[in-house]
Amino acid sequence: MRYEVSADIYEGPLPLLVELAKQHLIDIFLIKLVDLTTQYLAAVKASGVDLNQLAEPLPLLGSLIALKARSLLPRPDQPAEEDEVPISLEELERRLKEYEQFKTVAQLLAELHALQHQHFTRAPGEEPQAQPSTEAQAGSFDVSIAELMGAFAKVLERASAAVYEVQAEPWTVEMKVQELRVLLTVRQQVRLLELLTPDKSKLELVVTFLALLELIRQRVARAFQERAFGDILVACRDAAA
Amino acid sequence: MDDAQAKRIVEALLFVFGEPVGLKRLADAMDGCTVPQVRQYIETLNQEYASSGRAFQIQEVAGGYQLVTDIQLAPWIRKALASPKPDSVSKGALETLAIIAYRQPITKAEMEAIRGVDVTAALDTLVERRFVRVTGRKESAGRPFLYGTTSEFLHHFGLGSLEALPPMEHPTLLEPTEADAEPSTQQQ
């Protein structure tokens, strides 16, 4: 059901009244709001059944009141608003025209772009070798920070070496040579398998073996077997001699 | 070296380079050749290509010359290279690019005044694709960045130089806010 109102100069549905007032097609000052509100109150008291129907005119009435209240206020706002939009009609027209032109050339650029991409060249980057000197003559230009960052990012992308930790070597050949010298001085003769016990790490075994070879090369130690298939023994050359 | 030989050298050099080569660089590579001579050889070559229906043409682009394939051969090449259709540039980016191309150097705020919308995304795209770059800062409040086009832009749009841009029919009036009118050589 439409909520109808009747005021001095208007009789009809409320939504239309609000719309007319908003469009300034009806002078809000000629509408007595008090008439409308009393009518509404009367309607509420009369029916009091359907809340939805009763609530419907409320926002409309509210907006009417707001509209009137606003027009009652003095209007210092008005010139301020105009300040914000200083564009004259001619200026607006000029700007629109200017923008239209840019739109036209943008379209042309799109066509140029499409056209140019119908041409193929040799794959870029096949240039034999860049000659910086002649390049500079041809017209060098400064590289922006963004381009530098971009170039660096590419380098980083290509960086293939994995990150690893450098560890101090726990055993060195020199260390093991010293050890073996001492050992051979004390023991004169050692079984090879005593030197290379399985509880040692592979690296230590390798280093120990290298140290042994070094000592043999220096003719400090010698390796021998007492019998075929027997244990290999390491002995101090002086002692053996 | 006679003309025929010189012409062959120009052709060979253009074949070898994958990007535009300047006339000066070509001339330097050929002892005793001047820039006008090289330009003449290029013209002759182009005429020969055209009249004998060859697959190539020499194009002036981004201040240099490059050997490119004829446009009619694009479908076959694209198929062989299995290359997708050329990446297009969005409308917004193109409009922004046009404004920069014709009004450079120009600030972001000035572009937005013309387009009437925010151009951040469009500008990012253009910078990323290296069609435009920051060319300096405007000596006004906030010292905003000034943007200009790159040779990459000329390259991708097949333009020899900024002068080769299609003319805007009616030279536009200068922005009233633009205190320092740019020497807008690129508009002529």
Predicted confidence (pLDDT) per residue in A198-227, tens digit: 888 888 899 999 999 998 888 888 888 888
On whether any CB of chain A is under 8 Å from the CB of B51, the answer is no
SS (H, E, C) chain B: CCHHHHHHHHHHHHHHCCCCECHHHHHHHCCCCCHHHHHHHHHHHHHHHHHCCCCEEEEEECCEEEEEECHHHHHHHHHHHCCCCCCCCCHHHHHHHHHHHHHCCECHHHHHHHHCCCCHHHHHHHHHCCCEEEEEECCCCCCCEEEEECHHHHHHCCCCCHHHCCCCCCCCCCCCCCCCCCCCHHHC
Distance, CA of A208 to CA of A218 (rounded, Å): 15
B59, B64, B166: residue with CB nearest A108: B166
Q: What is the pLDDT of residue B185?
A: 42
* Residues B120-148, mean pLDDT to the nearest whole number: 89
* Residues A111-135, mean pLDDT to the nearest whole number: 65
Percent of chain A with pLDDT strictly greater than 70: 83
- Test A105 with B86 for CB contact under 8 angstroms: no
The answer to whether residues B93 and B126 touch, using CB atoms and an 8 Å cutoff, is: yes
pLDDT tens string B112-124:
888 888 899 999 9
Considering chain B, what is the average pLDDT of its residues? 82
pLDDT tens string B140-169:
888 899 999 998 899 888 888 888 888 876
Q: What is the pLDDT of residue A140?
A: 59
* Residues A14-26, mean pLDDT to the nearest whole number: 80
Q: What is the pLDDT of residue B132?
A: 92
Distance, CA of B124 to CA of B106 (rounded, Å): 15
Considering chain A, what is the average pLDDT of its residues? 78
Q: Which residues numbered 25-44 in B keep a CB inside 8 Å of some CB on A?
A: 25, 28
**Lookup: tokens for A92:** 């607006």
* Residues B89-118, mean pLDDT to the nearest whole number: 89
Percent of chain A with pLDDT strictly greater than 90: 2
B96 pLDDT tier (thresholds 50, 70, 90): very high
Exposure string of B72-94, with b = 16+ CB inside 10 Å and e = fewer, is eebeeebeeeeeeeeeebeebbb
The alpha-carbon gap from B1 to the nearest alpha carbon of chain A, in Å, equals 23
On whether any CB of chain A is under 8 Å from the CB of B129, the answer is no
Q: What is the pLDDT of residue A66?
A: 85
Q: What is the pLDDT of residue B184?
A: 43
Question: What number of helices (H) and strands (E) belong to chain A?
Answer: 12, 5
Closest residue in chain A to residue B172, using alpha carbons only: A98
- Test A134 with B25 for CB contact under 8 angstroms: yes
- Test A109 with B172 for CB contact under 8 angstroms: no
The alpha-carbon gap from B132 to the nearest alpha carbon of chain A, in Å, equals 11
CATH entry 3.30.160.40 includes domain B3-70: no
Q: How far apart are the first and last CA of chain B?
A: 40
On whether any CB of chain B is under 8 Å from the CB of A227, the answer is no
Percent of chain B with pLDDT strictly greater than 90: 16
Instruction: State phi, psi for A2 to the nearest 5 degrees.
Output: -75, 145
Q: What is the pLDDT of residue B173?
A: 38
pLDDT tens string B15-38:
888 778 888 888 888 877 888 888
pLDDT at A59 over 50: yes
Closest residue in chain B to residue A132, using alpha carbons only: B25
CB pairs under 8 A between A and B: 131
SS3 state of residue A170:
coil
A91, A116, A124: residue with CB nearest B19: A124
Q: What is the pLDDT of residue B182?
A: 41
pLDDT tens string A145-198:
778 888 888 888 888 777 778 878 888 889 899 988 888 888 888 888 888 888
On whether any CB of chain B is under 8 Å from the CB of A105, the answer is yes
B12 contacts in chain A (CB < 8 Å): none
A91 contacts in chain B (CB < 8 Å): 176
Distance, CA of B78 to CA of A123 (rounded, Å): 13
SS3 state of residue A11:
strand
> Residues 6 or more apart from B187 whose CB is under 8 A from it?
B102, B167, B168, B171
Which amino acid is it at A146?
A
Classify domain B91-168 at the CATH class level: mainly alpha
Q: Where in chain B is the domain with CATH 1.10.10.10?
A: 3-70, 91-168
